Amino acid sequence: MRREFSDAIEKIALEDEKIIFLTGDLGYNALENLQQKLGKRFINTGVAEQNMVGMAAGMAYRGFKVFCYSIAPFVVYRCLEQFRNDVCLHNLPVFLVGNGGGYGYGIMGSSHHAIEDLAALSSLQNVKCWIPAFADEVEGAVNQIVAVARPAYLRLGAGKNTPSDFGKMGSLKIVNKVENAIGSIIALGPVANNAVSALNQSELTSKFNLATALHLPLELNEEAIAFLRNSRNILVLEEHVSIGGLAQQLSVKLLENGISPQKFISLRAEGYPDGTYGDQNFHQMQSGLDVNNIIHKITHFA
């Protein structure tokens, strides 16, 4: 999604001279177009993420809208205090952008993984976390972030384009919708692509709804609540720990609205069960987020 992101930033920054782009010495082979087009508004702050967010807060206080880019664990964990105190509590338009959310950086190990980022950020004051599942959602997310001009986090990964789109319902985007569905899969981020593959490979496309959560904290309108009320079984997929993630936030919404599915299964990032590291597919498999396990779960529903 880096290419879609850089194209979206280039387009909106050329229309709005108040856009500033900061990078923590990352983005090579992806952001050169921004460096060329934005000129002095593109600043490499070096490997100093805490300072980068402090700079961004000062710029935002002076009326600018500032993007801070790095890989997800560096732009989230290293500067959490600065983002909380300098940005969120003052409701300033500073936007963190983390590439490679979840296990995206694979074999580089736990220091380069972000599987608790949404729990950390979606709990802060005034923040909305955007988690595109598909590449064609990135531009819309960027436009919304700038238009709202409040603290935000954009979590990027690797995703294809949306296979179908039945519309948005609050935080939820309906990707597959069928009559008399056995259940609903609700996915967070690019792991939704595994759900698409699972439905196609298992020939259960006509029996399951598929929705993605575009942003957290979770917001449900009346249409989304009706959709969930009609979901007899729910399978949640997220490349994030269960605490503070989609499953936990969704379960609270279900309880608040008196919705009791027959079965509620949460597949989430399980950390490092045997203490070893591998690529993203390896960690998804260890967490049960791979295509084969998803097929097993939905077949059990059926």
Give the span between the Cα atoms of 165 and 163, in whole angstroms: 7
Which domain does 19 fall in, by range? Answer: 2-156
Cα–Cα distance for residue pair 65/16, rounded to 1 Å: 9
If one counts the domains in the chain, the total is 2
94 shares its domain with 119: yes
Q: Give me the pLDDT at residue 302, please.
A: 67
Q: Which residue in the block uniquely carries the two structure tokens 């609050």? A: 170
H or E stretch covering 238: strand 233-238
pTM for the model: 0.95
Q: Report the distance separating Cα 114 and Cα 153, nearest Å.
A: 13
- Tokens, residue 26: 């990352």
Residues 145 and 197 in one domain: no
CATH code of the domain covering residue 218? 3.40.50.920
In a domain, 161, yes or no: no
Mean pLDDT by 10 residues, the chain (302 residues): 92 95 88 90 94 98 97 96 98 97 95 97 96 96 97 94 88 92 96 95 88 95 94 96 95 96 96 95 97 94 74
Assess whether 92 and 144 both reside in one domain: yes
- Co-location of 121 and 174 in the same domain: no
101 shares a domain with 183: no
DSSP 8-state class, residue 107: G
| Residue 162 included in any domain | no
